[in-house]
Amino acid sequence: MQTEHFWMPFTANRQFKAKPRLLKSAKGMYYTSEDGREILDGTAGLWCVNAGHNHPKVVQAIQAQAASLDFAPTFQMAHPLAFEAASKLASMAPKALNRVFFCNDGSEGVDTALKMALAYHRARGDAARCRLIGRERGYHGVGFGGISVGGIAGNRKQFGSGLAGVDHLRHPLNIAKNAFSKGLPEHGAELADELELRLLTLHDASSVAAVIVEPLQGSTGVIIPPQGYLQKLRDICTKHGILLIFDEVITGFGRLGSAFAADYFGVMPDMIVCAKGLTNAAVPMGAVIATQTIHDVLVNAAPKDQIEFFHGYTYSAHPLACAAAIATLEVYREEKIFEAAAAMAPYFEQAAHSLRGLPHVKDIRNLGLVCGIELEPQIGKSTTRAYDIFEKCFWEKNLLIRTTGDIIALSPPLIIDKAQIDRLFSQLADAIRELAN
Ligand SMILES: Cc1ncc(COP(=O)(O)O)c(C=O)c1O
């Protein structure tokens, strides 16, 4: 196999190509590797295959759609599935959020939401609100908007100075106080007050358009919001007329046992960004779900025969993606996938925390069907401890796990059963022990 032409994303290309890890097919909870091994998927691909791989209903919907309408534009044209997919998604979203703008992935969703926030304030006659606030260690994809509001140094340093007028909250991870918390950590809600006490004092609220956060920070190593934190952010944003955007690219579609994290926390943002689980990852698709107010203000500000929002993608509401989304959302409902995740969460939590006490494990944190296991880095070699465990799991334990820095993140498909949870954690524990030094 020639490997040189595929320049791989977020990959150590030379290291990978020296010993490629290849997956060739998948079904339910398992991948099959190129060399024929069945690999238990502890990560739902990349936090996205929530209903399990190759769900027959989704496969069938895509196949049928590919044979009937390959593509239709949605600029000044449309096709019926686009409206059906939007209605289905709106009916699953928190009640106040019911206007859906489609894009192709999470990064586009983030940039769409940020642009929507700016355009909304401008349409209200408040164009001075152009500042955006994100959070340290936030991951909001890889567009220039997303890396600017995001807070991962590695994703920013190669790419210049990013958007102007962006500031960041501190992240709420506090291992010293909250290590081995089960569910929401006790300490840290006061970090949300920084929005008002520090950032709005510095910049003045009248210059701020939106605050964007992941309700649960996934990609930077599973940072769970402290009790009361998100409600505080909501209250401060409401008080100062600032839009609150939840980036639910990971938390959407059942990861916490409810359709969205907004439902789980009972905290309503003004916009939700989603992607990944929207189509069970079978076709790329993302969406921003906004309140009717945002939509109406923006749309009604333009003359009736003029385009209101100068934004969109050739593949917004692509027919294949719409077919996959409709089928996926039906599967979630019909098979009660979110309810199953909620029911399994306590068992998953117990299994995750059974790794406490293993060599080098310095924190375990969890919520819903997500957990992060943070390891002490090897001296002078950060990331290698977790990476070695990841490799051992793949080659020797037939497990797919994910690592970021020295944190192992697990987020299996929501259909995982108890025996599979037992296997996931016991084999991971074996790998951690075998590599302890
Ligand atoms: C919270 C969050 N936002 C945005 C993204 C970017 O999504 P995509 O890779 O589909 O562009 C991700 C991807 O993991 C994510 O976790």
Question: 65: CA distance to ligand 1 center in Å?
Answer: 26
| Tokens encoding 354 | 């059974």
- Look up the CATH number of the domain holding residue 270: 3.40.640.10
Specify the residue with its C-alpha closest to ligand 1, atom 7: 106
| Whole-number Å distance between alpha carbons of 344 and 416 | 8
- Strand-pair category, 370-375 with 361-367: antiparallel
Question: 416 is in which domain, residue-wise?
Answer: 13-55+336-434
Is 70 inside a domain boundary? yes
Summarised one tens digit per residue, pLDDT across range 243-293 is 999 999 999 999 999 999 999 999 999 999 999 999 999 999 999 999 999
What mean pLDDT is reported for the chain? 98
Residue 246 near ligand 1, beta carbon < 6 Å: no
Is 252 inside a domain boundary? yes
| Whole-number Å distance between alpha carbons of 275 and 95 | 19
Of 8, 107, 248, best ligand 1 pocket probe by most atoms within 8 Å of the beta carbon: 107
Of 103, 219, 222, 271, best ligand 1 pocket probe by most atoms within 8 Å of the beta carbon: 219
Of 111, 248, 249, best ligand 1 pocket probe by most atoms within 8 Å of the beta carbon: 249
Are residues 42 and 178 both part of a single domain?
Answer: no
Q: Which numbered atom of ligand 1 lies nearest the CA of 217?
A: 1
Is 352 inside a domain boundary? yes
Percent of the chain with pLDDT over 90: 99
| Whole-number Å distance between alpha carbons of 419 and 421 | 5
- pTM for this one? 0.98
> Is 301's pLDDT higher than 90?
yes
- Phi, psi values for residue 85, rounded to 5°: -65, -40
Question: 140: CA distance to ligand 1 center in Å?
Answer: 6
Is 428 inside a domain boundary? yes
Residue 149 near ligand 1, beta carbon < 6 Å: no
Q: Which numbered atom of ligand 1 lies nearest the CA of 143?
A: 11
| Whole-number Å distance between alpha carbons of 316 and 234 | 30
Residue 221 near ligand 1, beta carbon < 6 Å: no
pLDDT of residue 31: 98
DSSP string, 283-322: S--EEEEEEHHHHHHHHHTS-TTS-S-----TTTT-HHHH
Residue 247 near ligand 1, beta carbon < 6 Å: yes
Q: Which amino acid is at 90?
A: A
Residue 139 near ligand 1, beta carbon < 6 Å: yes
Specify the residue with its C-alpha closest to ligand 1, atom 12: 141
Are residues 353 and 256 both part of a single domain?
Answer: no
> Is 304's pLDDT higher than 80?
yes
DSSP string, 202-267: HH-GGGEEEEEE-SSB-TTT-BPPPTTHHHHHHHHHHHTT-EEEEE-TTTTTTTTSSSSHHHHHT-
Please, are residues 299 and 18 in contact by the beta-carbon 8 Å criterion? Answer: no
Q: Which numbered atom of ligand 1 lies nearest the CA of 104?
A: 10
Residue 218 near ligand 1, beta carbon < 6 Å: yes
Are residues 116 and 35 both part of a single domain?
Answer: no
Domain endpoint, select from 303, 334, 365 = 334
> Is 382's pLDDT higher than 90?
no
CB atoms within 10 A of CB 13: 13
Are residues 42 and 105 both part of a single domain?
Answer: no
| Tokens encoding 124 | 């209200």
**Which residues share a beta bridge with 131?**
208
Question: 141: CA distance to ligand 1 center in Å?
Answer: 5
Are residues 136 and 278 both part of a single domain?
Answer: yes
- Look up the CATH number of the domain holding residue 397: 3.90.1150.10
Is 8 inside a domain boundary? no
Is 322 inside a domain boundary? yes
Are residues 340 and 247 both part of a single domain?
Answer: no
**Residue 304 CB-density burial (10 A; 0-12 exposed, 13-18 middle, 19+ buried):** exposed
Are residues 50 and 30 both part of a single domain?
Answer: yes
Number of domains in the chain: 2
Are residues 272 and 415 both part of a single domain?
Answer: no
CB atoms within 10 A of CB 236: 21
Question: 149: CA distance to ligand 1 center in Å?
Answer: 13
Q: Which numbered atom of ligand 1 lies nearest the CA of 110?
A: 4
Q: Which numbered atom of ligand 1 lies nearest the CA of 276?
A: 10
Domain endpoint, select from 293, 313, 334 = 334
pLDDT of residue 437: 76
Are residues 329 and 388 both part of a single domain?
Answer: no
Of 49, 103, 140, best ligand 1 pocket probe by most atoms within 8 Å of the beta carbon: 140
Residue with tokens 């037992």: 422
Is 6 inside a domain boundary? no
Residue 104 near ligand 1, beta carbon < 6 Å: no
Residue 94 near ligand 1, beta carbon < 6 Å: no
pLDDT band at 326 (very low <50, low <70, confident <90, very high): very high
Summarised one tens digit per residue, pLDDT across range 91-139 is 999 999 999 999 999 999 999 999 999 999 999 999 999 999 999 999 9
Question: 249: CA distance to ligand 1 center in Å?
Answer: 6
Residue 245 near ligand 1, beta carbon < 6 Å: no
CB atoms within 10 A of CB 354: 14
Question: 68: CA distance to ligand 1 center in Å?
Answer: 30
Summarised one tens digit per residue, pLDDT across range 148-158 is 999 999 999 99
Is 3 inside a domain boundary? no
pLDDT band at 53 (very low <50, low <70, confident <90, very high): very high
Are residues 66 and 50 both part of a single domain?
Answer: no
Are residues 264 and 372 both part of a single domain?
Answer: no
pLDDT of residue 228: 98
pLDDT of residue 421: 98
DSSP string, 159-202: STT-SSSEEEEPP---HHHHTT-SSS-SS-GGGGGHIIIIIIHH
Specify the residue with its C-alpha closest to ligand 1, atom 3: 140
Task: State the Cα torsion 169-170-173-178 to the nearest 10°.
Answer: -100
Percent of the chain with pLDDT over 70: 100
pLDDT band at 161 (very low <50, low <70, confident <90, very high): very high
Are residues 63 and 48 both part of a single domain?
Answer: no
Q: Is 202 left (phi over 0), alpha (psi -120 to 50) or beta?
A: alpha
Q: Which numbered atom of ligand 1 lies nearest the CA of 250?
A: 16
Taking CA atoms, 276 is separated from 33, 50, 85, 403, 408, in Å, by 22, 9, 15, 18, 20
